Amino acid sequence: MNVNQINPSTLRITDVRFADIDGAPKRCTLIKVYTNQGLIGYGEVRDASSRTYAAMLKSRIIGENPCNIEKIFRRIKQFGGHSRQAGGVCGIEVALWDLAGKAWGVPVWQLLGGKFRDEIRIYCDTDSEGGGRDMGQALVERMKKGFTYLKMDLGIELLMNQPGCLSAPLGFLETMKREKKVFVTPHGSINPAAMRGEAYELFSTAHPFTGIHITEAGLDYLENYMAEVRKEIGNEIPIAIDHLGHIPLEDCIALGRRLEKYHLGWMEDPLPWQMTEQYVRLSRAQNTPLGTGEDIYLKENFLPLLQSGSLAVVHPDVLTAGGIGETKKIGDLAESYSAAMAIHMAESPIACMAAVHVAAATRNFTALEVHSVDVPWWEDLVKGLPKPLIRNGFIAVPDAPGLGIESLNEELISEKRHADFPPPWNPTDEWDGEWANDRQWS
């Protein structure tokens, strides 16, 4: 499409359609927002979220000018919620920025006020079987590929088969191990058909209420694991940890104290993000930096944690936080409270590039997660970006209009389509006429 043929003032949204793919690394729902002038904007619903959250917004945005991003966002943001409930609002919002950039012929970062950097530092979560030395060697391989920031899991998953390392109500851990085999897919995402009854209760119980505790032997094991990792990778490169498990505040304090000597980048999501006072107690009781945010929707919900002074790092996901504009605002808000911003991203290259533009335009940005480094076809889902997309641990900030994606790889999308959903880009006419009085006042 020749940008000179586009008239941004008369651009209008005409259709919204979806394609569901599997294994990138989880299920992703890609979005196309169509317009009356042939421009198509690309968005995405966050992994394991329902496409219905986006489809029900179609009737609210048809006929609107996609360049009026803030106007449309304020209309639809009431239909988002924390974690995966925000998927529809965020996915549509990303597509609007892509359309606005394409219509005006500028990259999204320019619409956000310009960029602070030309390259975006990437970190990738790393999996490994075995002990700390094995994990350390896996991380060394990341370093050899040019990655300058690292992250790994360190929590009760490592202790499940270690005698005497966990304390819990009798039978609880055995049930957890059995049920997890049933409803967690090989890609690490949840199988909704199996997420029922006891399994749902086990993995939906907040940290303070599970009755799980790490014993002294368990703390010894995790500290030794971390020591072995550091012995392999050295002390010079920063490393963050994630997935501690549903353990209470007191255990987080004990573990944080054990890990202080390994000067971690941050300890991620040690507690449910809503428990501000517990974050305050945790930050004051030990010196391992704390980070959270991938499940938080809208900037105002980051505010209590930031005001409390308990966070070193905010960690939003563009497809949860409210989209590109809201994530940029969250980063700026965090800077005013002297907190850095890292960005969570476990989705397709569409979400990745949305995060790249936010990272480029946010001064206190630290590092962006890419969860698909080991998925060989991941970057092939889109066309128009450099290959390899990640070079020596960085992604170059594109100058092309919008997100910088020229088109999608339709053949690959068809090949990787999720069998439980309709064929890619099926009509969504059933959502055209839904009407409701969505006002929030009388």
Sequence spans of domains, the chain: 3-105+408-431, 119-402
Query: CA-CA distance, 214 to 236, in Å (whole number)?
Result: 29
pLDDT value at residue 50: 87
DSSP string for residues in 317-352: BHHHHTSHHHHHHHHHHHHHTT-EEEEB--S-HHHH
Beta-carbon contacts of 321 under 8 Å, excluding residues fewer than 6 positions away, are 86, 90, 293, 296, 297, 298, 299, 327, 330
Lookup: tokens for 59: 């009737």
pLDDT tens digits along 289-344: 999 999 999 999 999 999 999 999 999 999 999 999 999 999 999 999 999 999 99
pLDDT value at residue 183: 41
pLDDT tens digits along 250-259: 999 999 999 9
Least Cα distance to 24 among 334, 370, 368, 315 occurs for: 370
- Tell me which architecture the domain covering 119-402 has in CATH: Alpha-Beta Barrel (3.20)
Fold of 3-105+408-431: Enolase-like; domain 1 (3.30.390)
pLDDT value at residue 190: 47
Query: CA-CA distance, 59 to 43, in Å (whole number)?
Result: 17
**Stretches in the chain below the pLDDT threshold 70:** 1-4, 179-203
Q: How many CA atoms lie within 13 A of 39 on its CB side?
A: 31
Q: Can you state the angle between helices 87-104 and 324-336, rounded to 10 degrees?
A: 100
Beta-carbon contacts of 320 under 8 Å, excluding residues fewer than 6 positions away, are 46, 82, 83, 84, 86, 87, 90, 294, 295, 296, 297, 344
Q: Enter the pTM of the model.
A: 0.94
pLDDT value at residue 49: 83
pLDDT value at residue 187: 37
Indicate the residue type of 214.
Answer: I
E strand residue ranges, 80-128: 119-123, 125-126
Query: CA-CA distance, 268 to 369, in Å (whole number)?
Result: 13
pLDDT value at residue 184: 44
- Write the Ramachandran bin of 344: left for phi over 0, alpha for psi from -120 to 50, otherwise beta: beta
Lookup: tokens for 370: 């890419």
The answer to whether the CB of 3 falls within 8 A of the CB of 399 is no
Burial 262-281 (b: 16+ CB within 10 A, else e): bebbbbbbbbebebbebbbb
pLDDT value at residue 200: 57
Lookup: tokens for 187: 């890609």
pLDDT value at residue 188: 42
Give whole-number Cα distances, 85 to 79, 233, 436, in Å: 8, 38, 19
